[in-house]
Amino acid sequence: MVNEFVNEGITQKELDDTKKFLLGSEPLRTETLSQRLNRAFEEFYYGRPLGFNKEQLEKIEKVTLEEMNTFIKAHKELADLTFSIVTKDVKNKN
């Protein structure tokens, strides 16, 4: 599955759904004063310009399928990642 992702990239629907999720959930990430202050602090702490996160969202909004798949295919090391799935053992209820 990972090799397929690295070799073939993503579909337009996957890109559109991802953009909708990231852009659509942004209001929840800046809902409270505390969240907004924390974001500003992180931008300052990591030496990023104020408004960095907004710039990133604008880039996400503008990225094309071709750009995304070119990026994915250029990073073959993604196939070297190790994945694991942790599930609950339903046989042992203790």
Q: Domain locations in the chain?
A: 2-80
* Average of per-residue pLDDT values in the chain: 92
The answer regarding whether domain 2-80 maps to CATH 3.30.830.10 reads yes
Distance CA 25, CA 80 (A): 30
Angle at 86 between CA 82 and CA 89, to 5 degrees: 150
Predicted structure pTM score: 0.74
pLDDT of the residue at 82:
87
Task: Please write the tens of the pLDDT for every residue from 16-53.
Answer: 999 999 999 998 988 999 999 999 999 999 999 999 99
Q: Which amino acid is at 84?
A: S
90 pLDDT exceeds 80? no
DSSP string over 3-67: HHHHHH---HHHHHHHHHHHHHTHHHHTSSHHHHHHHHHHHHHTTPPTTHHHHHHHHHHH--HHH
